[in-house]
Structure 1
Amino acid sequence: MLPSEHSPLLNGNPRRPHSVYSKILVLLKADGEPSWQDSYRQFIFGSWTNLLLLLVPVAAAAHYLTWDAPLRFGLSFVAIIPLAKLLGDATEQMSLSLGQTLAGLLNATFGNAVEIIVGLVALLKGEVRIVQTSMLGSILSNILLVLGSSFLAGGLYKHESTFRVTAAQTSVSPSSALMTLACITLVIPAAYHAAKHVAPVKGGLASLSDQSISDLDEKSRKGLLIISRGTAVLLLGVYIAYLFFQLKTHAALFVPRRKPTVPNEPVPEVEQEEEVETPKMSVASAGLGLLIVTVVTSFVADFLVASIEETANRFGISKAFIGLILLPIVANAAEHVTSVWMAMKDKMELTIGICVGSSIQIATFVVPLLVVIGWFSGHELTLFFDDFETVSLFVSVLLVNILLQDGKSNYMEGLMLITLYLVIALAFWVA
């Protein structure tokens, strides 16, 4: 008796037909994958943080019923926290079931989904200042606050945490170079703006925060747009090349390596004792969950952005502070917890990869992507940041590079990074 169309899913018959229906069934749930019920039970009830999802409909009601702006801002602000975690969980679950290349591309696309969504919503609403400060704030939050908190937490559990300089710089050195390149690309538009600036500057940090390309003559304004958009395209090309470098041509350099337990013991190429994490969701269920959460997050981000201006005016808080400090804390909440937890387990190479890698994605992928989207949608988003913002980014990257050179970390280095972040936050508070 010939096997039926469904028999390949039930036994190992090598003569199974490759019908379209069979392929669809395999896509929906491959052999050995968790069921849909188990997948979503884990997805929805797997963390106490998901209790905050109850605030999503409340935030929607507050928006459509035009409640007080600070209340709308607060509800939307907190509601994004569990959504950011769910986006990270869904991306991680899909990555576990896919190959290295697809997993890398998936993480590159959705690794900073909240930043992309918030930035895109703000851009389409014409809130260019919020877009710029939130992107810059995400970079600073990752390399200063998150990495600093990780070093601090790791230092409290261990006198000194070590990571192989070669391994750290394998994953961090190209990344550090890319981050430095991103800093340089921000310096050039700022230098061009300073050279072509025609409007008088009254002085002070507040006036710097309000500068825009509107204070340039028409020729200079077009020149700044050409520089920004051309640089954005080039940065996207560099980032694609970096992904190819990381996932294909030099993939072995990015494999975590085991630290030797005995002096002069040769270090094996691949960590053998690292436990393999098994997926808790099927690829199809994780993909559907990722799609649903992305849509919900876009609505909540819209509620949040719509309440920023009135909230800022009510409490006298600058948009720069909201974009640079408050929004990145929400967007990076899940990464913050994961990075600190890995540092407490003395997995410093993974911690550095999370913090620096996320910053690289924002600097060389998210920001250029938004500039290109603004180009096609008619919004004049540029890579011009004022002098204070550019200097803040440059000194932050410089400090991180210095602290990573010795291959060691302790709580004092963590305090240094956090202190610099607080100083920058204080400066933007009074801006």
Structure 2
Amino acid sequence: MKFLPNIRRAATFMLTPEKTISKPPNTWRSIRAIILSSWFNVLLVFIPISWAINFALPTQYTLIFVLTFLAIIPLAKLLAYATDELSIRVGQTLAGLLNATLGNAVELIVSIIALTKCELRIVQSSLVGSILSNLLLVLGMCFFAGGMRFSEQGFGQSAVQLNSSLLTISVIAVLLPGAFQMALQGQPSYSEESTDYNILKTSRGVAIILLFIYGSYLVFQLFSHKALYHDSGEDILQSKGYEGQNPWLQLRLYRRKNATPVQSPLPMGDEEVAINPAVTIEGSDTESEIETYMSVPVSLGLLVAVTVLVAVTAEFLVDSINGLTESGAIGKEFVAVILLPIVGNAAEHVTAVTVSVKDKLTLSLGVAVGSSIQIALFVIPFIVTLAWMMGKQLTLLFDPLESIVLFLSVLTVNYCVQDGKSNWLEGMILMCLYLILVVTFWFYPGTSLIETL
């Protein structure tokens, strides 16, 4: 039995709600589908191993971090799988809301656990790192992978520009507290205590406004202008194949023995769907029925079970970070900005790149950019509001370097998507920018600004 798709089917159903849904399978077939849903499930073996090491060898912080890190990756994939199965049955509106709410559940759980332990620096840095990972690494891989089969790929320019505006608003909200502090530092009446208090109050007010913007964005996307987010529209440019021989395909064929050059801009087979409308893929718009792989009770049970496992494993992960970074071999800033986002975004990386190769770049952008918007306009202000309720002084005053990097990254992505089309070089630019950030944060020790607040 082959491994089963998930997000692609859910997205197809959301775009074409008139399709019928197949009869739900029995419990055994549902469990079998869960087991075979992804190759990531092989990593589930690290869950009991990481738990055992955490209790047996609590001072082995590096080992605990690595094992819990590997354990959360398949849990994130299963969480997305359960969410997509439920989305198929609840209709387009509730499906969008469900995916928006649970799309970044792993990041949200990790942030809440770090918040309860008063690890405010990890909370802020990991959320910024998730945005950077989605905008630069995931989007760059989508552009590059699609560019290996297409000379240019088109996508919904209106929706992407709107998303870019929303990201810009969130970046402004992150930059303003820092500008607030810098503007008052040179004043004769400057008081650090009163300034910190005002920044805290400002952050809480801005967080409420950002949550309102996110709610408005959901209404816009799911009700008033949902056609903008369809995979086909008037503003989507037609993808173009390479003229003559595809250089990337020829490079692959050159490495194979007894291979003959192919003149088609795409490899032969089911991957020709982007150029040849007669060719279809599983879950494509030509199918009249959406196949379900799990029943509703099993989907809900999986959702609850995975959430509990993520919460417990994430607690062990957060507990091991301080011990891991105390040796000085690796910095807390690098762990929070670079490593932790990989845990929650690994499943999204694979999905976004897979559909971009099939010329579904609008869906890829929805996964990458849409996830960044969820974090910027929902998760970050929600965590600030939650900290307010818990009596913890979490603000929108982020590390100065993180704020600048976030601003420059959003600016770079805006330049790349403003023409409504992509190519492999734009993807390489975004990926190389992310590698630059990886090198930078490896040597960056971070500031103690967050702890002092």
Equivalent-residue separation in structure 1 for 2:229 and 2:306 (angstroms): 30
User: What is the aligned partner in structure 2 of residue 192 from structure 1?
Assistant: 180
Equivalent-residue separation in structure 2 for 1:412 and 1:260 (angstroms): 18
Equivalent-residue separation in structure 2 for 1:144 and 1:300 (angstroms): 27
User: What is the aligned partner in structure 2 of residue 371 from structure 1?
Assistant: 384
User: How far apart are 1:305 and its partner, in Å?
Assistant: 0.4
- Aligned: 1:149 with 2:141: yes
User: How far apart are 1:68 and its partner, in Å?
Assistant: 1.0
- The match for 1:50 among 41, 47, 71 is 41
User: What is the aligned partner in structure 1 of residue 167 from structure 2?
Assistant: 179
249-258 or 236-245, which moves further after superposition?
249-258
- The match for 2:400 among 387, 399, 405 is 387
User: What is the aligned partner in structure 2 of residue 428 from structure 1?
Assistant: 441
Provide the aligned C-alpha RMSD in A. 2.2
User: How far apart are 1:67 and its partner, in Å?
Assistant: 4.7
- 8 Å Cα contact 2:139/2:365 also seen in 1: yes
Taking a change above 3 Å as real, the CA distance of residues 134 and 44 of structure 1, as seen in their structure-2 partners, is same
User: What is the aligned partner in structure 1 of residue 195 from structure 2?
Assistant: 220
1:183-233 CA distances to partner (integer Å, 9 max, x unpaired)?
1101111111223448xxxxxxxxxxxxxxxx9722111101111111111
135-144 or 397-406, which moves further after superposition?
397-406
Taking a change above 3 Å as real, the CA distance of residues 90 and 262 of structure 1, as seen in their structure-2 partners, is closer
Taking a change above 3 Å as real, the CA distance of residues 126 and 36 of structure 1, as seen in their structure-2 partners, is same
User: How far apart are 1:350 and its partner, in Å?
Assistant: 1.0
In structure 2, give the amino acid aligned to 1:140. L
User: What is the aligned partner in structure 1 of residue 119 from structure 2?
Assistant: 127
1:145-195 CA distances to partner (integer Å, 9 max, x unpaired)?
0000111111122222223xxx2322x222111101001101111111223
- Aligned: 1:114 with 2:106: yes
1:135-154 CA distances to partner (integer Å, 9 max, x unpaired)?
00000000000000111111
User: How far apart are 1:260 and its partner, in Å?
Assistant: 8.3
User: How far apart are 1:278 and its partner, in Å?
Assistant: 2.4
- The match for 1:168 among 157, 168, 180 is 157
User: What is the aligned partner in structure 2 of residue 74 from structure 1?
Assistant: 66
Equivalent-residue separation in structure 2 for 1:54 and 1:192 (angstroms): 48
- 8 Å Cα contact 2:152/2:421 also seen in 1: yes
Taking a change above 3 Å as real, the CA distance of residues 262 and 284 of structure 1, as seen in their structure-2 partners, is closer
Equivalent-residue separation in structure 2 for 1:219 and 1:160 (angstroms): 54
- 8 Å Cα contact 1:168/1:352 also seen in 2: no
In structure 2, give the amino acid aligned to 1:119. S
Equivalent-residue separation in structure 1 for 2:153 and 2:82 (angstroms): 31
Taking a change above 3 Å as real, the CA distance of residues 226 and 159 of structure 1, as seen in their structure-2 partners, is same
- 8 Å Cα contact 1:235/1:364 also seen in 2: yes
User: What is the aligned partner in structure 1 of residue 343 from structure 2?
Assistant: 330
- 8 Å Cα contact 1:148/1:415 also seen in 2: yes
Taking a change above 3 Å as real, the CA distance of residues 145 and 277 of structure 1, as seen in their structure-2 partners, is farther
Taking a change above 3 Å as real, the CA distance of residues 216 and 425 of structure 1, as seen in their structure-2 partners, is farther
Taking a change above 3 Å as real, the CA distance of residues 417 and 194 of structure 1, as seen in their structure-2 partners, is same
- The match for 2:96 among 104, 107, 110 is 104
Taking a change above 3 Å as real, the CA distance of residues 128 and 33 of structure 1, as seen in their structure-2 partners, is same
Equivalent-residue separation in structure 1 for 2:437 and 2:128 (angstroms): 12
282-291 or 361-370, which moves further after superposition?
282-291
- Aligned: 1:60 with 2:23: no
Taking a change above 3 Å as real, the CA distance of residues 94 and 216 of structure 1, as seen in their structure-2 partners, is farther
In structure 2, give the amino acid aligned to 1:75. L
Equivalent-residue separation in structure 2 for 1:87 and 1:368 (angstroms): 23
User: What is the aligned partner in structure 2 of residue 23 from structure 1?
Assistant: none
Equivalent-residue separation in structure 1 for 2:72 and 2:144 (angstroms): 26
1:94-119 CA distances to partner (integer Å, 9 max, x unpaired)?
11111111111111110001100111
State the 4+ residue runs in structure 1 displaced beyond 3 angstroms.
258-263, 271-277
Taking a change above 3 Å as real, the CA distance of residues 40 and 342 of structure 1, as seen in their structure-2 partners, is same
- 8 Å Cα contact 1:151/1:409 also seen in 2: yes
1:347-370 CA distances to partner (integer Å, 9 max, x unpaired)?
111111111000000000001111
Structure 1 alignment gaps of length 5 or more: 1-29, 199-214, 264-270
- The match for 2:225 among 229, 242, 250 is 250
Equivalent-residue separation in structure 1 for 2:157 and 2:294 (angstroms): 31
